[in-house]
Chains A and B, each alone.
Chain A
Amino acid sequence: MTIVYEDRGDEATSDVPVNRIRFTINGQKKIAEVEPRLLLSHLIRRGLGLTGTHMGCDTTNCGACTVLLDGRPVKSCTMLAVQADGHSIETVEGLSGQSELHPLQEGFKQEHGLQCGFCTPGVMMAAKALLAANPSPTEDEVRWALSGNLCRCTGYQNIVKSVLWAADKLRSSEPPASEPPASEPSGAESRASAG
């Protein structure tokens, strides 16, 4: 868990401000040392090696980098990693259990909701937040909730079908409203160092 910066020679490394943050990612508690300008997306991808969160436009448009911050979808390219201090983050890697796919992942498979797949992780995280708040969305509500996520392949038709498929599955699966178990119980804090 290391991030390597270019040695520009003119900047003493001791001058680089570093902040220590504590956060939870996909149920695991972490500590990281981050330079304040590190973006949350970079902490996730490079620092934690969770490359399921994609960087698309890098300008707050496309939504490929969407993750859940305390359950709410946010664009991780538009948040500083240091701002995650004390918060809980969920990425696409946190969706599935040890062996089973999350109903959303299954839905995208069943309804052919992806082609190149680049936007898919962000779409699924936005969809997860939608279904948590509204287990029975209409097609319009799905489209509205996903309007911050751009897809250049599918024309959105099958994405919408996939999310509705997942909504059906989640409603029909046993005790509703119970949170899926965290991907793994982590006793020891693993230490993440970045910057």
Chain B
Amino acid sequence: MYPSRFRYEAPRSIGEAISLLSEGGDEAKVLAGGQSLVPLMKLRFASPELIVDINNIPGLDYHREDPDGTIRIGALCRHADLERSALLTSRQPLMASAAPLIADPIVRNRGTLVGSLCHADPQGDWASVVTALSGHLVARGPGGRRTIPMTDFVTGPFQNALAPDELAVEAVIPAPKGTLAGGYLKLERRVGDFATVGVAVALETSDGTVTRAGIALTGVGGSTISATEAAEELVGQPLTAQTIAQAADLAAAAARPRTDHRGSAEYKRHMVRTFVVRILSRGDGEAAAAAGGNRAANGDAAGSGDGASDGSDASGGTERAA
């Protein structure tokens, strides 16, 4: 399969990229990792007239932590960089658990987090992660730079809030105020498939009390769902079997799954509930058992990272977690 014809430009600076985008208007498209855009172009779902390849712009492949704890991910930071990141492993449990679950290992060598957010696939994993973390994107355009909260960034399936002449240059995860916890769990039929269900939970606690919570859901609605009621239920509370069960029920209620070849709506809703319980119960097996998480006796059973399914809940696919 071939993409339709286009003009190709590979600018060496952000400024140059922005002027090319201004020139191309609606017909221009930014190419970063290309792991979604190139397939779409081959299938002719996208036929841009101008491709602005940003891979030759130096200094965009970073991910780093500011002195205050803010984490910044540049537009050319690949999923594989995040998967191997010592910074995320030690400082950002939710992102560290999601990175190895994006697509497959070969795709992760090219694809980027910022590109994934811009692609705005309703089943994109990173969108849920960054939503749960209350992250935002930084865009650069002819008029300077602006910050767009993740919750405002996605305007519809495969649509984002960027103007045609704006380039998303980095994703920003705000500094935590309490102790960080949380994680991402994903149910998929096989490695590299889109999520049947994905659940991202970001948690900050202080002296055993939840001070901030974010819960976002992948694959169970027309776009990423922010389960705000479920998250708010946790704030100000300790994590107990009861509070966990309440949050899980609210998250399941927020899901709007549809029955398809990946599973029934009922099954997906059940998995949302189960995943919320599992993530919140890590290190607290008793609470999870009481809350009805039937894997909770294992505590962190989902953390084996080998992609194995225990066949109990994940009967329609493989649950992966790292």
Contacts and interface: CB of A to CB of B under 8 A. Distances in A.
Given A82-B8, A140-B306, A144-B307, A66 B106 contact: yes
A146 B105 CA distance: 8
Contacts of A148: 103-107, 191-192
Contacts of A38: 2
Contacts of B7: 17, 36
Contacts of A146: 105
Interface string B48-86: 000101010000000000000000000000001000000
Nearest to B110: A74
Nearest to A60: B39
Nearest to A11: B5
Contact of A37 (B5, B107, B305): B5
Contact of A126 (B51, B106, B192): B106
Given A78-B39, A140-B306, A73 B6 contact: no
Grouping DSSP codes into helix (H, G, I), strand (E, B) and loop, the B interface class, with mixed when no group exceeds half, is loop
Interface string A135-148: 00000100111111
Contacts of B4: 37
B109 interface: yes
Contacts of B134: none
A74 B106 contact: yes
B8 A80 contact: yes
A74 B79 CA distance: 13
Nearest to B320: A147
A58 B38 contact: no
Interface string B1-18: 111111110100000000
Interface size on A, as a range, is 35 or more
Contacts, number: 94
B39 A126 contact: no
A75 B107 contact: yes
A147 B307 contact: yes
B3 A37 contact: yes
A39 B104 CA distance: 20
B3 A73 contact: no
A16 B5 CA distance: 8
Nearest to B43: A59
A147 B192 contact: yes
Interface in A42-76: 58-61, 63, 66, 69, 72-75
B34 interface: yes
A59 B10 CA distance: 24
A73 B53 contact: no
Nearest to A63: B106
B38 A126 contact: no
A183 to B, nearest CB: 23
A72 B84 CA distance: 14
A77 B1 CA distance: 9
A63 B104 contact: yes
A36 B51 contact: yes
Nearest to B5: A37
A131 B259 CA distance: 42
Contact of B8 (A17, A39, A66, A77): A17
A111 interface: no
Given A37-B4, A80-B8, A75 B106 contact: yes
A82 B34 CA distance: 13
A2 interface: no
B38 A73 contact: no
A73 B105 contact: yes
Contacts of A19: 8
Interface in A119-136: 126
Contacts of A82: 8, 10, 53
Interface in B8-47: 8, 10, 31, 34-35, 38-39, 41-43
A83 interface: yes
B109 A73 contact: yes
A36 to B, nearest CB: 3
- Residue among A16, A59, A75 with the most chain B CB within 10 A? A75
Contacts of B107: 60, 75, 78, 148
16 contacts: A16-B5, A36-B6, A37-B41, A39-B38, A59-B39, A73-B109, A74-B109, A75-B107, A79-B38, A126-B105, A126-B106, A147-B104, A147-B307, A148-B106, A148-B192, A149-B106
